[in-house]
């Protein structure tokens, strides 16, 4: 049973969330709180497994409360917020501070998928391993040191992640050089959020990072993030790779789906691809990573210790999809070493 505390200043929202979550037999609402001060007392007294948290509240805002909570008494937190353009930056900050997931608050900006996303987020949070804020950065994680001379024109790097993936993707991309192969990324997140995510990564990484648009070219030095609520498919167009952004039914209850991206990478790039599956709840991407490995691609899964939720990597490892299982901070170096080794092998056989 997952014991949930709901924190929101709106009585209507508290009621709606409680009613929705109470429909599921594995979730118990143990209390609600109108603001962080009331929440603090109930956390100590009720010891919830997961807390939902609004961002904009009186007396103390949700971000300030989250920062204090993750520093002194970390518990799994799902932020439930109105993800307007104004609030998306604050929502992303919540993930940086240690929130497990960010979900759109029921209302004007929600979608028919919002209730399902909320339940998935609560379950993912319950399976997560929250860390104190000062311990959140993986040991040894550093930015790529100087230029790396690798030819990557015909290579594609495909990455998939879910719960905990925003920080994991940041750590991975920051550790890669500007000459990284053309990179395609699926991160499960609300559609109001992916553009902000890409923009923030672009400010921190050596390569260019942007939200993907239909028919964008996949070229070295550029990373494309799949837009929320749209699948991203890799295709070959003559001598170049492009992405197609499309609708379609969710796969593993997800749109975008990692499996959709990975299977399309097999069809279009085959052994010229590298596949990485990172932290996340569920099994999305496991079968696709296996197909990538079977086609000759180099594949990596994040290890359990560095994963926020060891779901997607675990399923991939069980299938034998991962050639290597590595801590997050070692994955960038492994990618670079593999590309250098392939280049050296190609040079010897030329």
DSSP 210-273: EE--TT-EE-TTEEEEPPTTSEEEEEEETTEEEEEEE----BTTBSS-HHHHHHHHHHHHGGGE
According to DSSP, the residues that pair with 219 across neighbouring strands are none
Residues 82, 88, 188, 257: which is the catalytic one?
Answer: 188
Longest dimension (CA), the chain: 70
Tens of each residue's pLDDT in the chain, 350 residues? 999 999 999 999 999 999 999 999 999 999 999 999 999 999 999 999 999 999 888 888 899 999 999 999 999 999 998 765 556 778 788 888 999 998 887 765 556 677 888 899 999 999 998 877 654 444 445 555 445 556 566 899 999 999 999 999 999 999 999 999 999 999 998 887 899 899 999 999 999 999 999 999 999 999 999 999 999 999 998 889 999 999 999 999 999 999 999 999 999 999 999 999 999 999 999 999 999 999 999 999 999 999 999 999 999 999 999 999 999 999 999 999 999 998 887 766 65
Long-range contacts formed by 320-323: CB under 8 A, 24+ apart: 320/290, 320/293, 321/277, 321/286, 321/287, 321/289, 321/290, 321/292, 321/293, 322/277, 322/289, 322/293, 323/293, 323/298, 323/299
User: Exactly one of 162, 268, 306, 307 is catalytic; which is it?
Assistant: 162
Instruction: Give residue 12's pLDDT.
Output: 92
Element containing residue 349 per DSSP (H, E): helix 331-349
Cis peptide before 254 (omega within 30 of 0): no
* Catalytic-residue membership of 338: no
| Rounded distance between C-alpha atoms, residue 348 and residue 343, angstroms | 9
Dihedral sign for Cα 33, 39, 45, 50, please: positive
Q: What is the distance between the alpha carbons of residues 271 and 235, in angstroms, rounded to a whole number?
A: 14
Q: What is the pLDDT of residue 192?
A: 77
Query: What is the distance between the alpha carbons of residues 251 and 256, in angstroms, rounded to a whole number?
Result: 8
Residue 140: predicted pLDDT: 46
**Catalytic residue list contains 188:** yes
What are the chain's domains? 2-135 (3.40.50.2300), 156-349 (3.40.50.180)
- The per-residue pLDDT for 135 is 47
Q: What is the pLDDT of residue 302?
A: 98
The yes-or-no answer on residue 61 being catalytic is no
State the catalytic residue, choosing from 54, 216, 284, 303.
Answer: 284
- 223: tokens are 């990373």
Handedness of CA 91, 31, 57, 106 (dihedral sign): positive
Q: Are 264 and 224 in contact (CB under 8 A)?
A: no
End-to-end CA distance of the chain: 60
Q: For residue 165, which of 197, 127, 141 has the smallest C-alpha distance?
A: 197
Cα-Cα-Cα-Cα dihedral of 84, 90, 91, 96, to 10°? 160
Q: For position 34, what pLDDT does the model report?
A: 94
């Amino acid at each position: 049973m997952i014991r949930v505390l709901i924190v929101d200043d709106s009585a209507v929202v508290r009621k709606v969330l409680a009613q929705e979550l109470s429909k599921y037999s594995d979730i118990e609402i143990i209390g609600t709180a109108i603001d962080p001060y009331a929440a603090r007392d109930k956390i100590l007294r009720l010891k919830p497994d997961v807390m939902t948290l609004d961002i904009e509240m009186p007396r103390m805002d949700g971000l300030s409360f989250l920062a204090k909570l993750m520093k002194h008494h970390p518990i799994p937190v799902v932020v439930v917020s109105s993800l307007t353009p104004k609030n998306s930056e604050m929502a992303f900050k919540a993930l940086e501070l240690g929130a497990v997931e960010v979900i759109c608050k029921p209302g004007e900006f929600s979608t028919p998928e919002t209730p399902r996303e909320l339940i998935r987020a609560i379950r993912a949070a319950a399976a997560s391993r929250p860390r104190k804020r000062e311990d959140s950065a993986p040991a040894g994680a550093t930015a790529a040191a100087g230029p790396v001379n690798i030819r990557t024109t015909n290579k594609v790097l495909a990455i998939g992640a879910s719960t905990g993936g925003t920080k994991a993707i940041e750590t991975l991309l920051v550790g890669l050089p500007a000459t990284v192969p053309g990179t395609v990324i699926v991160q499960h997140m609300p559609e109001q959020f992916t553009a902000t995510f890409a923009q923030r990564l672009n400010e921190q990484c050596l390569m260019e990072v942007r939200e993907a648009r239909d028919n964008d070219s996949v070229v070295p030095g550029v990373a494309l993030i799949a837009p929320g609520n749209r699948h991203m498919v890799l295709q070959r167009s003559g001598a170049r790779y492009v992405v197609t952004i499309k609708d379609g039914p969710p796969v593993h209850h997800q749109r975008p789906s990692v499996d959709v991206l990975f299977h399309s990478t097999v069809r279009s790039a085959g052994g010229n691809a590298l596949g990485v599956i990172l932290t996340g709840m569920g099994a999305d991407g496991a079968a696709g990573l296996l197909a990538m490995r079977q086609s000759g691609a180099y594949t990596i899964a994040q290890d359990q210790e560095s994963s926020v939720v060891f779901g997607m990597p675990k399923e991939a490892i069980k299938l034998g999809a991962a050639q290597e299982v590595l801590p997050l901070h070692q994955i960038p170096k492994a990618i670079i070493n593999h590309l250098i080794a392939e280049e050296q092998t190609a040079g010897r056989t030329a």
